[in-house]
């Protein structure tokens, strides 16, 4: 499953996913899935809110679930919309984010789900690393395969999808150590940043600059490195501290905390990020061998967190090369 939430299901990028003929288009926001038109099945990754269940059935084919109350409401809307909605039942193998934790509850839930006429139990899944940082080892994922075997025997059914997790599974996949029986993973970061997320290792033959931030210099001046006057709180209620490095050449860039956390930006030029306020990013360009001017563009490499917030910001223009 190709996961589009980090780039807010941007349509230009969705078209690439569609051209590549991924098996499923997956996103955590139903608002994003709503905007995608394609024959490829659409999967909602975040557990549906009951208050959005009608839209979930309308704009996705499958959703990840862990609450029978929610699945019953999905069934009601699927009946109204004359559809069969697919459910992947999430099992918590210890990362402690979503999923049913107790084994008896897994079986109880399946018992109920199989009685709902407009719900198809498409499969089971798990999510690791996201909250608790639990690594998807071979043995951990065998636990999911054991659930599959037990469920199929107990209920005399066949589960289509055994979804073993996210980009943190990539090392197992590449080293061919993923347990037999896991036939699906949901990939976001692996696709956009070219790295697996269990250890943060970059993958071979993947581009590392799929997303780049370009920000324009709106002020360029020599100033002292320590503010002058009595120091109180800054715009975010924190009392700032400074190291005196004498007079420095500082640039202000037209981007700020409203768009991105400056700690998640990786400068390409030899500059130092000093800080930011809502709409301004302040950098020290004294060490750079380039002669900058007002109006010049500085480029930054990005992390998962910065791609997420920059793509979400309506103030950041998106250009494609
Ligand atoms: C349930 C679920 N599966 C998979 C993913 C994709 O994770 P990653 O970007 O690490 O591949 C996410 C997050 O986007 C998620 O919430």
Domain boundaries, the chain: 2-193, 212-312
Predicted local confidence at residue 201, as pLDDT: 95
For residue 5, give the ligand 1 atom closest to its CA.
Answer: 14
Closest CA to 217 of 305, 293, 118, 114: 293
Instruction: Tell me what percent of the chain is helix, strand and coil, each rounded to the nearest 5.
Output: 30, 20, 50
How far, in Å, from the CA of 262 to the mean position of ligand 1? Answer: 23
* 212-312 matches 2-193 in CATH topology: no
- Whether 299 is catalytic: no
* pLDDT by position in tens, the chain (length 321): 999 999 999 999 999 999 999 999 999 999 999 999 999 999 999 999 999 999 999 999 999 999 999 999 999 999 999 999 999 999 999 999 999 999 999 999 999 999 999 999 999 999 999 999 999 999 999 999 999 999 999 999 999 999 999 999 999 999 999 999 999 999 999 999 999 999 999 999 999 899 999 999 999 999 999 999 998 888 888 898 999 999 999 999 999 999 999 999 999 999 999 999 999 999 999 999 999 999 999 999 999 999 999 999 999 999 999
Strands (E), 110-268: 119-125, 161-163, 212-224, 247-253, 265-267
How far, in Å, from the CA of 28 to the mean position of ligand 1? Answer: 8
CA–CA distance, 64 with 92 (Å, rounded to integer):
12
CATH for 2-193?
3.20.20.10
What three-state secondary structure class fits 97? coil
Predicted local confidence at residue 173, as pLDDT: 96
Neighbours of 74 (CB within 10 A): 25
What three-state secondary structure class fits 268? coil
Neighbours of 10 (CB within 10 A): 16
How far, in Å, from the CA of 185 to the mean position of ligand 1? Answer: 9
Atom 10 of ligand 1, residue of closest alpha carbon = 167
Which residues, 6 or more positions from 297, have their beta carbon under 8 angstroms from its beta carbon? Answer: 214, 215, 216, 217
Q: Are 265 and 237 in contact (CB under 8 A)?
A: no
Q: Which helix (H) or strand (E) holds 149?
A: helix 138-155
Which residue among 5, 42, 140, 148 is the active-site one?
A: 5
pTM (2 d.p.): 0.96
Homologous superfamily, domain 212-312: Lyase, Ornithine Decarboxylase; Chain A, domain 1 (2.40.37.10)
CA–CA distance, 264 with 75 (Å, rounded to integer):
42
Q: Are strands 119-125 and 161-163 parallel, antiparallel or unpaired?
A: parallel
Strands (E), 25-181: 25-27, 42-44, 62-65, 85-90, 119-125, 161-163
Residues having CB within 6 Å of any atom of ligand 1: 3, 5, 28, 45, 64, 127, 166-167, 186-190, 197
How far, in Å, from the CA of 187 to the mean position of ligand 1? Answer: 6
Predicted local confidence at residue 207, as pLDDT: 92
Predicted local confidence at residue 236, as pLDDT: 86
Give the torsion through C-alpha atoms of 246, 248, 250, 256, to 10 deg: -40
Predicted local confidence at residue 234, as pLDDT: 85
Radius of gyration of the chain (CA): 24
Atom 2 of ligand 1, residue of closest alpha carbon = 45
Atom 5 of ligand 1, residue of closest alpha carbon = 166
CA–CA distance, 124 with 177 (Å, rounded to integer):
20
């Amino acid at each position: 499953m190709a996961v589009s939430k980090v780039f807010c299901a941007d349509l230009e990028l969705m078209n690439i996913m569609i051209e590549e003929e991924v098996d499923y288009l997956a996103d955590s926001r139903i608002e994003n899935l709503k905007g995608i038109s394609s024959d490829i099945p659409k999967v909602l990754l975040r557990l549906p809110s009951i208050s959005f269940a009608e839209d979930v059935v309308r704009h996705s084919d499958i959703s990840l679930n862990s609450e029978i109350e929610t699945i019953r409401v999905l069934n009601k809307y699927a009946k109204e919309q004359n559809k069969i909605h697919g459910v992947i039942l999430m099992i918590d193998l210890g990362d402690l984010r979503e999923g049913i934790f107790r084994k008896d509850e897994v079986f109880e839930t399946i018992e109920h789900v199989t009685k709902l006429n407009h719900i198809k139990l498409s499969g089971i899944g798990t999510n690791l690393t996201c909250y608790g940082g639990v690594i998807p080892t071979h043995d951990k994922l065998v636990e999911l395969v054991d659930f599959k075997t037990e469920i199929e025997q107990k209920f005399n059914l066949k589960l289509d999808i055994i979804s073993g997790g996210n980009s943190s599974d990539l090392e197992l996949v590449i080293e061919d150590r993923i347990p037999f029986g896991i036939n699906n993973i949901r990939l976001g970061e692996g696709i956009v940043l070219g790295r697996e997320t269990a250890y943060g290792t970059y993958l071979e033959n993947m581009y590392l600059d799929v997303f780049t931030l370009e920000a324009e210099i709106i002020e360029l001046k020599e100033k002292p490195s320590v503010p002058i006057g009595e120091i109180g709180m800054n715009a975010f209620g924190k009392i700032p501290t400074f190291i005196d490095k004498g007079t420095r050449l500082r640039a202000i860039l037209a981007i700020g905390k409203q768009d991105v956390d400056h700690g998640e930006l990786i400068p390409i030029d030899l500059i130092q990020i000093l800080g930011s306020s809502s709409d301004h990013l302040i950098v020290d360009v004294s060490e750079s061998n380039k002669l900058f001017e007002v109006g010049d563009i500085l480029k930054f490499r990005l992390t998962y967190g910065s791609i997420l917030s920059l793509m979400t910001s309506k103030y950041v223009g998106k250009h494609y090369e």
